[in-house]
Amino acid sequence: MSPLTIFGLFAVTAMLICYALESRSRWFILAFAGACVLGSAYGFMQGAWPFGAVEAVWSVVAIGRWAIAPKTK
């Protein structure tokens, strides 16, 4: 596997894990946003610009969800 493929696998796996754990803490929503940024970077580096663009939009949506998520004590 190439380093780019490994990076993409890491990004998508991080997205999956963070999405699954979002209900546990609002910080997983922010981590999901970060993983989406990594996924976006992977898409652009791979040459799949539509994937990169959609992941960039998802990261903005996730940051918005994080901002309005209730803060826990």
Collect all residues with Cβ–Cβ distance below 8 Å to 49 and sequence separation of at least 6.
43
- Domain annotation covers residue 56: yes
Average the pLDDT over 5-30 and give the result.
96
As for how many domains the chain has, the answer is 1
Q: Does the pTM of the predicted model rise above 0.85?
A: yes
pLDDT at residue 73 in the model: 59
DSSP 34-61: HHHHHHHHHHHHHT-HHHHHHHHHHHHH
Q: Quick check: is 20 in a domain?
A: yes
Is 1 within a domain?
A: no
Could you give the C-alpha distances from 54 to 57, 58, 67, in angstroms and in order?
5, 6, 20
> Does residue 25 come out as left (phi exceeding 0), alpha (psi in the -120 to 50 range) or beta?
beta
Does the pLDDT value for residue 52 go beyond 70? yes
pLDDT greater than 70 at residue 12: yes
**What domain range includes position 26?**
10-68
2 found inside a domain: no
pLDDT tens-digit readout, 20-35: 999 999 999 999 999 9
What's the pLDDT band for 71 if we cut at 50, 70, 90? confident
Do the domain assignments include residue 73?
A: no
